[in-house]
Structure 1
């Protein structure tokens, strides 16, 4: 028989401690976000559809993006037990200078369209976290203003080579004079990808107002108030543009750029140079021979060629072939700190996050970016501890198995099989 009694007040008191309510609504919702997916849900509620879809979307059927994210889910970790992991170091040197975490903020365009604080929020948050911030050619904050937001930290400038070479190199010169230490040359945009969400939404600069966009904006007054009461949206590196995004990209970008042009750019840049958008082993080898400092395995977040190679799948073979000649970095599909740990274990020296950062920005401005960085940092530290490692240097391929979901039936002639 279970013996029962009437509880005493002294017994109940320890069970009746109430948490003090958080009166700051932004802090309350950000504190409740435990994952990047949580930040995404908040961002979707607070951002008009056209701006959110520009961040969220990819090219055509969005298969490349889905596969990239699935690739990170299709891994198996192999933890070591009985290791002292009371102390964990999440930093090391990247491109000759220290970083506090093995990821940085990727270059993103139209950022103030997502949330009015834009690149300034990202650069300031990166400075606080001790990680690099990358400014896009299509950014909406000037090179000089980003430097002012991150004066002592690491700033990288991402270059699209335009048909007007003089204007392109004038931007490069400005970035060098402002003290940006690394140039990211993006090479996977000879023309714009078919970003169908943007076309269906009529996404343009300035935004095209329709009955649908107005109705969608009604429950999001803060976004519109910020948009209408701050500096008009414009590209920091361009004259004002009135038209669709695809038209802008096709007007600007140069489909004739070659390896010789890349060598010419490299000769004029005083800092480190990294090539972004590498998608084959053959191109990685050729870039190593050219003497660049690093490459970023990337399919542009799935926003260019749909059904492009999965960067995370390319990583092991590229590291084996060129990892001693240059640094191999990675982006596309990263949504957690565990994804970043897996990439480092398989040889990536660094990773870049784009959508994960923008979800935080849309969810809460600079405080939201801080929260996104904190979430990823917490997940990295916890994953490392559970794997039984104390530092990034201890991560190695034996910690990760890439599980096979997609495998080629027949490999095209001239493309070597992974080793």
Structure 2
């Protein structure tokens, strides 16, 4: 028999503790976001389709992006037991300086298109979190503006070697003068990839008003209000070079860049030089002897060559070949802090997040970026504690197995 009693008022009152309601709509939305996928869902609701698809999409059939994300999901962890881990240290050093977390914000173009605060939100959030921020050549905030938004943090610059080489050289000098400490020499964009979502949406830079975009934007008037009442969307670091947005974008893609360009930039740049967009073991070995300080294994977020190698699958092989010679970072497909932990365990010194940061930006501006960083940070700490490691240095390949759904056929 179950014993029953009449509930006492005092006991009922103990249960009736209601949380104070959050009146700020943005904060209320962001507080409900527990994962990067939650931020993506908010971003999709609040951003015009063409803009969201520009951020969310990839090249052609989007196989490279899907495979990159699947590779992280196909990780099996191997935790230790009976190890005391009341606290974990997520700090690391990368490219000559510190980072409070093993990830930084990747370079993204047209960032103010996604949300009006753009790169200043990302740089400010990065500075507050103690992680690096990377500005793209095609960024919509200037080198100097990013420095002002993140005056005491680490700022990195991602360089496209443009057809007019003097434009690129000028950007290198400006980034050095502004105290940026690392330069990403980007090698995976000889031409633009075919981003079919953009073509189907009739997407253009800057956005044009068409009947379809007007209809899609009607439920999202705040986006157009922000777009129309803030400074003109342009490549902020390139405004003095002349040309329309389309002309500058076309000039940024140059299939003629080669080793001589790398040598020239190496001679100009006083800080750490990192080659971004490496996709083979052979090229990693070649770069190890050319005076670069590091590489980023990347297929440009799946936005260039579809069916490109998955960076996370490539990572262990590259670490074995050149890990003692230079630092290796990785991007593409990262949506969870456990993805970052797995990459570090397999030898990556650092990781970069692009879309994950942009989903936060679209969901809530600077506060949304802060939320994205907080989500990833919490996931990293929790994963490390569950693996029972107290620092990133304790992570090793024995903690991770890469399960694979695609294995090359031997001819």
| Aligned-partner SS, 1:238 | helix
If the length of structure 1 is used for normalisation, what is the TM-score? 0.96
Tell me the residue number matched to 1:132: 132
Q: Separation in 1 of the partners of 2:90 and 2:317?
A: 24
Residues 2-401 of structure 1 correspond to what in structure 2 (within 5 A)? 2-239=2-239, 249-401=249-401
For structure 2, list consecutive stretches of 5 or more residues without a partner in the other structure: none
SS in 2 for 1:101: coil
1:26, 1:118 → 2: CA distance?
17
Give, in whole Å, the separation in 2 of the partners of 1:11 and 1:205: 61
Give the CA RMSD over aligned residues: 1.2
Cα distance 1:241–1:336, how it changes in 2: closer, same or farther (>3 A)? farther
Counterpart CA distance in 1 for 2:328 and 2:4 is: 66
Find the aligned partners of 1:198 and 1:275 in 2 and give their Cα distance: 28
8 Å Cα contact 2:235-2:245 kept in structure 1: no
Cα-to-partner distance string for 1:2-59 (whole Å, 9 max, x where unaligned): 2333312122111111111001111111111000000000111111111111110000
How far, CA to CA, are the matches of 2:111 and 2:245 in structure 1? 17
SS at match of 1:237: helix
* Counterpart secondary structure, 2:216: helix
User: CA–CA distance in 1 between the matches of 2:51 and 2:76?
Assistant: 35
Residues 164 and 251, structure 2, Cα contact 8 Å, conserved in 1: no
What's the CA shift string for 1:86-106, capped at 9, x where partnerless?
Answer: 121000111111110000000
User: Is the partner of 1:205 in helix, strand or coil?
Assistant: coil
Identify which range, 358-367 or 12-21, moves more after superposition. 12-21
Q: Report the TM-score when normalising by structure 2.
A: 0.97
Distance 1:249 1:283 in 2: 26
CA distance, structure 2, for counterparts of residue 395 and residue 10 of structure 1: 50
CA contact (8 A) 1:193 1:303 kept: yes
* Structure 1 stretches lacking a partner, 5+ long: 412-419
Cα separation, 1, equivalents of 2:77 and 2:297: 22
